[in-house]
Structure 1
Amino acid sequence: MKITEKTIRFLGRALCGDTGLVPYKSGPQLVDFFVNYGADDQYGEGFPSRWRYTEEKIREYNGTKFLKSILEDSVDPRDFMESDINICETIKTFNELLNFDGYELKKVGAFYKIADSKGILVEPETVTGINHDFIQEQIKKCNEKIEQGDFNGAITNARSLAEAVMIEIIEEHEGKEIKNDGKIENLYKQVKKILNLTIDPKTMPQTVLQILSGLDSIVGGLAGLSNNSGDRHANKFNTKKHHARLAVNSTMTLVDFLLESKEYQK
């Protein structure tokens, strides 16, 4: 699902509750809301204004399978029960703008779902079919950011790549869309189980076990480094070029192995 910039700016102020169309959300509540869709932000010093943060997140998710869920969850009737806001008026106002982008919120049972201009419900997008070429393309983009001096951006992209590969593996295994809680370690635990990567001294040589243990360390280190120096957080760490290069190269090793393991399982 993809919307225009004008709609993004409207939703930035609307979804945080500034325009009175949906219940008000504080900064921490907004962070918790977007964590449901894979965000890994933290509320604290340097946090942008609520509407600007919301606008940035909508722009980030525009064109992805998560935007549909964000809009639908923002008008969950249960959130309006203790509010004086008339949800019918909210839906009418939202649709007046969404119609220009070819979408509308349509009532299905007790909830509202995104439909196209013909009234056909928009279904979640299928998994993207990540392959080795996709990985190489993303790593290339990471390296380009490093050469441009955007070390934090490269680390953020590397983590996003690792998350995308893990989510792909989980969704393909479960046959349905999942919600990322923003914790890459949790994704990796699920992936290890799916790919049978549990460390068992009885079935693998010690040298292989050491390498697999190293992958655990990569995931933990990537999570910590991106939390402290990635561009989605206030920078707590003076990131250097070699730190960014280490994160990117480690990520390439990790995701390439996961993809190979998935193909081997097939």
Structure 2
Amino acid sequence: MEVQNLGQLIKKYGQKKFLESGKMLFDCSKEDCNIYYIQSGHVLLEKNSIPVVSLGSGEILGEKSFLELVPKLLDAKVSEDLEYYFLTKEKFDQLNEDAKVSILSGIGSFLTNRIYKLNDVLTKINYYNSNIILSDIDDEKLKNIFKNDITIEEILVLKKINGNENFHKLYGNIVFGDDVEKLLYTISSQDNKIKVGKNYLIFDSGSYVFLFFGKIISEKYILENSILYSTGMFDYLGFKLEEKQNNEFLESSDSFDE
């Protein structure tokens, strides 16, 4: 029996479709046990409208619900015009035994590779978290943390006051101007948690807003490989920066009393 990868099998036995950017590939609130293969374009997986990961050409989606007949865990929104193939459970049940075995073997190999990749990501997250928690924060600390994802020229960390209406600067020498105000307005008005531009990245952790200015490697790389969705880590980092700022203020106040 010829050995084929999972994507080839979904193309062989499934159906081909197209979706425009902005459309939903699937919604976790609706019943959908299909398995999907992306031929071209990009899909953004979201949880409660918060981006989780971006997937592109060659990626597989929906294998868990296909195998276990359970709802999808995430929503899938098309972020770039999509050409894809999908295989329904009903069509799978109609296939001959050889085809079924090939598809199930393909899913097994795919899941094994995903576990290896996940271990790499978790190792990276643990490394970054330990570097933040176990070390003092200095002027180069944030740049060192993200050196593999972004070539950082400047960083601005803001604490939210009264929602998104006002901000208190915790870190960075960037002067507020029209450009910065526009970036902040863009992310707050569109309810985005992350926004990646040509030379900037904004992350909204809920309590703090982080702006990184410099060379961004790529939106897809950041979404798939960075720790930008470890929101708890960012809240902790914001708290540490705020604590550092308060300590510096108290130290300067003590000097006035002498």
Specify if TM > 0.5. Answer: no
TM-score, scaled to structure 2: 0.32
TM-score, scaled to structure 1: 0.31
Higher share in helix: 1
Higher share in strand: 2
Larger radius of gyration: 2
